[in-house]
C-alpha cells in the first residue's frame, strides 16, 4: 500500500522556538518527513543549539535562522508552528496572524492528524496516577 501524499509537501512552514524539552524537534522531524520546506527560528544561537543542529545535518528541506527572528519567516509561511512557551501576543505571531498564516501549536499539529481517540492528562501533580487509573479502566 502506498502512503497518501502529505498536505504539507512543498508548504513553507516556520517553527518558532525549539523548546527546552524536545517538542519542537519532534515537530521539525515530522514536518521534514512530510516534505514541508521548514524554517526553524529561535532566539538561541547556533552554539547553544549545536547538539540539535547535528541531529538535522542531513535534512535538505530545512533552514535555520538562529539568534533572533526575521519578519519574512513569518510573512511568507503557509503555516507557523509555535512553541507553547511563546506568548500568544508575540509581535511575530501577530504579524503572521495579520498576514493570514495558519498558526498551530506542536500539539495542534499532532491533534489534527491523529486518527485515533486521545486521552490527554495534564497538570502539575498526579499525572502518573491518573494515567495508570485510565490504563487500568481501559484494560478491563
Hey, what domains does the chain have and what are their CATH numbers?
Answer: 12-139 (3.40.50.720)
Q: For strands 62-66 and 37-42, give the pairing.
A: parallel
Q: What nine digits make up the cell of 23? A: 517538542
**What is the predicted pLDDT for the residue at 5?**
57
**What is the predicted pLDDT for the residue at 1?**
37
Indicate if the alpha-carbon torsion angle 88, 69, 83, 93 is positive or negative: positive
pLDDT in tens, the chain (140 residues): 344 557 899 999 999 998 776 668 999 999 999 999 999 999 999 888 888 888 888 888 999 999 999 999 999 999 999 998 899 899 999 999 999 999 999 989 988 888 888 898 988 899 999 999 999 999 98
Q: How far is the C-alpha of 130 from the C-alpha of 136, rounded, in Å?
A: 10
Q: For strands 37-42 and 12-16, give the pairing.
A: parallel
Amino acid at each position: 500500500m502506498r502512503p497518501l501524499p502529505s498536505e504539507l509537501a512543498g508548504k513553507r512552514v516556520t517553527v518558532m522556538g525549539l523548546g527546552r524539552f524536545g517538542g519542537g524537534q519532534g515537530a521539525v522531524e515530522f514536518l521534514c518527513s512530510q516534505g514541508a520546506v521548514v524554517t526553524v527560528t529561535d532566539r538561541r544561537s547556533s552554539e547553544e543549539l549545536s547538539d540539535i543542529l547535528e541531529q538535522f545535518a542531513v535534512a535538505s528541506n530545512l533552514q535555520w535562522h538562529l539568534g533572533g527572528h526575521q519578519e519574512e519567516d513569518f510573512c511568507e509561511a503557509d503555516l507557523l508552528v509555535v512553541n507553547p512557551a511563546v506568548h500568544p501576543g508575540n509581535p511575530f505571531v501577530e504579524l503572521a496572524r495579520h498576514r493570514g498564516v495558519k498558526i498551530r501549536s506542536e500539539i495542534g499539529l499532532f491533534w489534527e492528524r491523529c486518527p485515533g481517540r486521545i486521552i490527554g492528562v495534564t497538570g502539575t501533580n498526579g499525572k502518573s496516577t491518573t494515567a495508570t487509573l485510565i490504563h487500568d479502566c481501559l484494560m478491563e
